Amino acid sequence: MAISLSQLTRASAPKPPRILIHGVAGVGKTSFAAGTSNPVFIQTEDGLGTIEASHFPIARSFEEVIECLVTLYNEKHDFKTAVVDSADWLEPLIWAKTCKEYGWKDLEAPGYGKGYLATMEFWRQYLDGLNALRDERGMTIVQIAHTDIKRFDSPEHDPYDRYVIKLHTRAAALLQEHADIVLFANYRISTVKADVGFNKKVNRALGSGERVIHTAERPAFLAKNRYGLPDTLPLDWSAFAQGMPDCLQEALVSH
């Protein structure tokens, strides 16, 4: 079929965002997601604790995660946000599914990284399910992930450590690309010069306990957004929603 100018379209109302939030342990990622508009949690770990929110039973297999997505797609409901808690606990379920599908003992069995490459088929199947909820059911997507510190080998500077999503490199890259917003959650930290004697001063970190989300990438952490958000916001869903474009705010604010 030939392409013609008659097939051109203009963007209509913006779709709900696909959000990926990672951060240090206990900072409040799950509480942030629980503040979204009418959320339902797809759990691969018991991250809710005492937080009251609608949730499926904890998924013990990749198939159960997909079943949750299919249920939300097919059945009538008024949930506005699908929350996956967490992506890194989903990863071993995808590894197990891949090994079962190919008859491997583990992902190292085929050698040369082929096992991890094969997992991409199931990661994409999972992301297709999230896209269907967003595109056809109008749901905001929030994926929660833990963070890790890894050495980054820059081609322009000396290597340095940075916070990254706690996933295999291929999976992390795929989820980052898929997300419209990648948030890094941490405690706000400032540094001061401290005198240690002998005319020497050192930098010491001071934490106020304030929890924040970063929306733009820095050498120390991975983050991004496609909406012109402020670089730093309180770790609070209402504050985040108010920073989004006006055309999306009403859909994102909990009622």
Q: Give the tens place of pLDDT for each residue, 70-111.
A: 999 999 999 999 999 999 999 999 999 999 999 999 999 999
Percent of the chain with pLDDT over 70: 89
Better pLDDT: 250 or 134: 134
| pLDDT higher than threshold 80 for residue 147 | yes
pTM listed for this prediction: 0.89
Q: What is the pLDDT of residue 11?
A: 63
Q: Are 86 and 44 in contact (CB under 8 A)?
A: yes
Q: Are 219 and 184 in contact (CB under 8 A)?
A: no
**Number of helical (H) and strand (E) elements in the chain, helices listed first:** 8, 10
State the Cα–Cα distance between residues 128 and 17, nearest whole angstrom: 15
The CATH architecture to which 17-46+54-184 belongs is 3-Layer(aba) Sandwich (3.40)
State the Cα–Cα distance between residues 221 and 162, nearest whole angstrom: 5
State the Cα–Cα distance between residues 171 and 2, nearest whole angstrom: 35
Give the closest residue to 166 by CA, choosing from 17, 21, 19, 18: 21
State how far Cα 53 lies from the chain centre: 19
State the Cα–Cα distance between residues 102 and 97, nearest whole angstrom: 9
| pLDDT higher than threshold 90 for residue 153 | no
